[in-house]
Amino acid sequence: MKNGLLALNVVLLVAVGVLFYLHFSSRKATESRPAVAAAVNPGSAPAGSCRIAYFEMDSIESAYAMVKDVKSELGKKEDAMTNELSRLEKDYRSKASEYQAQAVNMNQTQSEMAQRDMLQRQQIIQSRESQLKAEYQDLQMRKLTDVRKKIEDFLREYNKNGSYSYIVSYEPGLFYYRDSAFNITGDVIKGLNEQYKAAAKK
């Protein structure tokens, strides 16, 4: 009797195992089919799928007119900063040479005054350099934020029909594979430049 119950339990256990296997293996097969179909034909992706487009940031930086203008403006600001600091340093060196030439004829009071003057000039240069660098960094941050906002606004409008779940910028080393079918760099450059030119005419 005990052997009969044991055999029955074993049969039932095997039957349950087979049912579980058949149930979950058939579910995996049906779940994998839409993913394959979506990969083959991305235009007919089922509802709830995730499509990602990308654009190449280095191409945007080299072809977007606004970025070129921003780089030019930052370059001019940097040149002006360099020129001003060079002039201040030149004046400092000139005054140092003047004091060195007069050093043999200076008394202690005059020598101390000259040292204080040179120290004050050095502090002025350092203070001005810090100020100019802060101004440059602030300008750079504001301009880069403006560019980023223009790109984000364009992409929001570009994707208003909801074709993509995400649009990312491609950075070398960050992504290891990309399908060129989802490369929208050309559209982004064209659209951004058209918007920038239209805004410049206003």
Structural domains in the chain (count)? 2
- The model carries a pTM of 0.67
Task: Give the separation between CA 191 and CA 177, rounded to whole angstroms.
Answer: 26
| Shared-domain flag, residues 146 and 54 | yes
| Shared-domain flag, residues 32 and 132 | no
For residue 107, give the DSSP letter: -
- The b-or-e profile of 123-140 (16+ CB within 10 A means b, else e) is eebeeeeeebeeeeeeee
| Shared-domain flag, residues 77 and 130 | yes
User: Who contacts 34 (Cβ-Cβ below 8 Å, separation ≥6)?
Assistant: 46, 49
pLDDT tens, residue order, the chain (202 aa)? 444 444 444 444 444 444 444 444 444 444 443 333 333 334 434 556 788 999 999 999 999 999 999 999 999 999 999 999 999 999 999 999 999 999 899 999 999 999 999 999 999 999 999 999 999 999 999 999 999 999 999 999 999 998 899 999 988 788 888 888 899 999 999 999 999 999 888 7
Task: Give the separation between CA 157 and CA 150, rounded to whole angstroms.
Answer: 11
| Shared-domain flag, residues 132 and 72 | yes
| Shared-domain flag, residues 154 and 133 | yes
Neighbours of 67 (CB within 10 A): 19
